[in-house]
A and B are shown apart, each in its own frame.
Chain A
Amino acid sequence: MSTVDYNRWTGKIAIRRLTTSQAWLYSVLVVLSSATVYGFLVLDTKGVGLIDAATRTIEYFGLMFGSPRGVPSHFGVFNDSTAALFLASFNLVLQTLSLAFLSTLLGGVIALVLGLFGAKNLTGPRTSNAIKGLMALIRAVPTVLWVLIFAIGAGLGAVAAVIGMSFHTIGYLLKAYSESFEEIDEGVIEALRASGASWLHIVSQAVLPSSITQILSWTFLRFEINFAVAVAMGAAAGAGGIGYNMFISAGYFFDIREIGFITYQILVIAILLEVVATRLKKRYRLAS
């Protein structure tokens, strides 16, 4: 019988033990919280007090959404016609929508073709895994970064924005498409194979007809995302459209009421897209 070493339990007795990963987690949390507190302490407030800042923020929001208006000359309109102003700004919204449309279309077509090879039941597991892995990498890099990467070659502007957005769209839609293809009943594919149909026949006659509604829904969901991204790209990458005007109003004219004017327009489009997207999602039970 071995003797019990009671001396192992010295000092205060802990009832929990930290695992290594928990220890790391807590240290990171502590560091980040201290950094946040420190950041607030040394924040350069230019002598504006907290109360003052808060009231002014509310006041500006009130201005922005309570009395929005656009300055015609900022939209290239040089008369007093309200209709002309709205037409001009609507034209810019259309430009942004076009950016989104073009990227979704380009990305969607490429994703559809590659997606066929990404589906396990249409190729082998090896090809499928290779393509899906590559797409995961593409998705991991944010759209803005892709735009900036392509801006190296194409220069900042609409071209880089469309290529960069299409690129991320490929990564997103390929996953969605190939998963829709993989849901197709294996028996249907087998039945056509048994009657001597070729791979192209099977894809066009069984796979696409069975998944067309899902494909359309996913594409629309991505279009909605791309619209939001296109607004940001107008500002961040000089891609043009309504986003660029917003950037100028905010960063150059400091015109808060005009920002409200633009925001309302974007909001209307975004809500419309969101409503349609939500309905599609519900109807086809898509998980995003």
Chain B
Amino acid sequence: MALLDVRKLTKSYGETQALSDVSFQISKGEFVSVIGPSGSGKTTLIRCVNRLIEPSAGEIVFDGKEMTALRGPELRRERARIGMIFQHYNLVYRLTVIENVLHGRLGYKGAIKGVFSMYDEQEKRHALEILELLGLGELVYRRCDMLSGGQKQRVGIARALVQNPRIILCDEPISSLDPSSARIIMDYLLKIRTEMGITMVVNLHQIDVARKYSSRILGFNKGTLVFDGPSDQLSQQKIYEIYGAEAGELIND
């Protein structure tokens, strides 16, 4: 059974069709890149999965649960099993690295324990292990506004990992980074998928990166899924279909 089953997903903003009739399935352990020009619906797609955006129509079945039907505490519990990584990291910069990482546990916490940062020893140990794994062991008590972009994104990854997620959704995780930091981040994402078996869905701007890291690519154009297949089957022809006039520039890179 598929881990994520998206059926006839549609999202419209008034006249704009951000997503039209999108269907695909993702199995456990896949590394899927979502590509497409700006405004093609990549962000909308992954935000519909954890219901940061309400879909207009269609179904999203995650791990056997119909996401679109969930409310309140039930929705919180499912969200806790879905990690998310952002282009702009979205950390609380006044807080330390470890405090930000432990925010990933809030989805499992009651009101009092969460409000007063009452984390178990086991949770804190887990957070430290993950930070060591991501090469942030020396920066545990550093305030996040003192970190470089690549370090901030690694904190973002750690925050997603302490959730013990079944899937991690990444919205352009390397678009704000320099090439070498970007490579480090992509390598970590790949490592997480191969060593921890966590399914990855990554929105990307760069076709070469998508080809290099992912097992499968979804290509969007104007809210429609125009390519769904293994990375090595993404032909020039398909790239033209996905990117239209922009394709020329992308291939020259």
Contact = CB atoms under 8 A, between A and B. Distances in A.
A22 B139 CA distance: 65
A195 B163 contact: yes
A283 to B, nearest CB: 15
B90 A187 contact: yes
B84 interface: yes
Given A201-B114, A205-B114, A195 B106 contact: yes
B55 interface: no
Nearest to A203: B115
B79 interface: yes
B219 interface: no
A201 B52 contact: no
Interface residues of B, number: 34
Interface stretch (B10-18, B91-99, B129-137, B196-204): B91-99
A164 B149 CA distance: 49
B77 interface: yes
B111 A200 contact: yes
Interface string B100-118: 0001101111010011110
Interface residues of A, number: 20
Contacts of A188: 90-92
Interface centre among A185, A197, A210 (most CB of B within 10 A): A197
A196 B79 contact: yes
Contacts of B75: 196
B117 A205 contact: yes
Interface in A22-65: none
B90 A196 contact: no
A204 interface: yes
B50 interface: yes
Contact of A205 (B80, B90, B106): B106
Given A195-B106, A196-B76, A198-B76, 5 more contacts: A185-B90, A187-B90, A191-B91, A197-B114, A206-B103
A195 B83 contact: yes
A195 B114 contact: no
Interface of A: 185, 187-188, 190-198, 200-201, 204-206, 209-210, 212
B42 interface: no
B86 A195 contact: no
Nearest to B87: A187
B115 A201 contact: yes
B79 A205 contact: no
B94 A201 contact: no
B211 interface: no
B84 A194 contact: yes
A195 B79 contact: yes
19 contacts: A187-B86, A187-B90, A190-B52, A190-B86, A191-B84, A193-B52, A194-B79, A195-B83, A195-B159, A195-B163, A196-B108, A197-B106, A200-B114, A205-B115, A205-B117, A209-B92, A209-B94, A210-B94, A212-B94
